Structure 1
Amino acid sequence: MSEYWRCAFIGEGTSDNRLAKVLERLLMSMRPGADVNLEPEPHEWNGKRPNNVEEKIKALAEEPYDLIFVHRDADNAGIEARIKECRKPGDDRVVPVIPVTMTEAWVLADLWSNEKEKETFRAWAAGKGLSRKVIEGLADPKRTLEEYLNRDRSSFMKATAFARKRSQLVEQIRIDGDVKHLEAWKRLEKELESALVRNRQHLGYE
């Protein structure tokens, strides 16, 4: 019988739910052959949606999840503050997912090595003075992504069109792509490894 991991994903909004597929692939890469089910925003919240991350985590206290992935952009607060926020409820199943400074930074890193996009993206980035090493230092990676996607347009696409394209790119993030070189991604891997062992202690002896 294969391992079974039932997991939940709590995002900042529904636009981040596509990240659940990426996290699902990451978990499966760490537990080859395991049966993984990662549910984005799975809970009905008993008819009332919680107002913040802490309330959402507490609302899942009695739910039979093995892991709870909690996504928060670092923004100006910083990665450590966001991780502390995720841990505050004291739920050992929680895996903080904290891009620096926004999820779009992971998209930009993926574009850097994406076979279909890398030549175009790298040429555009070079013209902007951008390199992979500075991605996590960008104050507004969302704006950078928006500029790239509108590079051949006379005016920016509508917000709905950008959101749709962004969601597609988020879901396509490859766990073995250039995102793996980013410090926030490395931290995610460590947080997930720790959560796996906390959940099933025998994994620490493999």
Structure 2
Amino acid sequence: MTLRLSKPDFSLLDKVPKDVRSRVTVGMKLLRDPVDLVVVHRDADNVGHEVRQSEIETAVREAGVTSSVMPVIPVRMTEAWLLLDESGIRQVAGNPRGRKDLRLPKAHEIENVADPKHVLKECLVNAADVSGRRHDRITKRFFQHRRQLLERLDCTGPVSGLPSWKRLVADIDAVVEQWK
């Protein structure tokens, strides 16, 4: 069995609407080849997991996709999951031995943080513990730092205890079970 991961390059087109149905429809056309699994990421934000899952299922059905679908629905934002890794935040910020208090939320509070992206930005700056131009550089590199934290995410670590992560794992298991 061969695994090939693809992500449609929406930048090849003038403007693709941001709704799920449009993204899936255009994405399937851009990929051209048939796919076995469509992964749709949509933050739960303030509407909740069930609403987002229904939105994804409806959009994919209306787009005429017959492939298996994997919804990825973190509570609020994906950044919430990253707030569980203090040492990773310090490492990515370039100050692994730093001692400054990052004021990270407790694990049981993570999924209730109103704006995890903002909190993560502040934590990265605090972890770097720099000022002036270096402070500005850290701030400007947020998206790169976030990507690095996602790449380092320990799937069996603290994130594995979060309800949103458990749902993701259950959804993956369900798709794999369908394929058997």
TM-score (norm 1): 0.66
Q: Displacement, 1:131?
A: 0.9
Q: Which residue of 2 aligns with 1:7?
A: none
Q: Which residue of 1 aligns with 2:80?
A: 105
Aligned identity (percent) is: 33
Q: Which residue of 2 aligns with 1:93?
A: 68
Change (3 A) 1:193 1:48: farther
Change (3 A) 1:145 1:129: closer
Change (3 A) 1:58 1:115: closer
Q: Which residue of 1 aligns with 2:25?
A: 58
Note if contact 1:113-1:178 (Cα within 8 Å) is conserved in structure 2: no
Note if contact 1:112-1:178 (Cα within 8 Å) is conserved in structure 2: no
Note if contact 1:114-1:177 (Cα within 8 Å) is conserved in structure 2: no
Change (3 A) 1:130 1:115: closer
Note if contact 1:96-1:191 (Cα within 8 Å) is conserved in structure 2: yes
Q: Which residue of 1 aligns with 2:120?
A: 145
Q: Which residue of 2 aligns with 1:134?
A: 109
Gaps of 5+ in 1: 5-35
Note if contact 2:73-2:164 (Cα within 8 Å) is conserved in structure 1: yes
Q: Distance in 2 between matches of 1:147 and 1:44?
A: 30
State the AA in 1 paired with 2:16. Answer: P
Q: Displacement, 1:58?
A: 2.7
Q: How many residues align?
A: 162
State the AA in 1 paired with 2:69. Answer: V
Indicate yes or no: 2:177 matched with 1:170. Answer: no
TM-score (norm 2): 0.74
SS in structure 1 at match of 2:51: helix
**Greater strand percent: which structure?**
1
Indicate yes or no: 2:10 matched with 1:40. Answer: no
More relative contact order, 1 or 2 (CA 8 Å, 6+ apart): 1
Q: Displacement, 1:95?
A: 0.5
Note if contact 2:90-2:98 (Cα within 8 Å) is conserved in structure 1: no
SS in structure 1 at match of 2:153: coil
Note if contact 2:10-2:16 (Cα within 8 Å) is conserved in structure 1: no
State the AA in 2 paired with 1:161. Answer: R
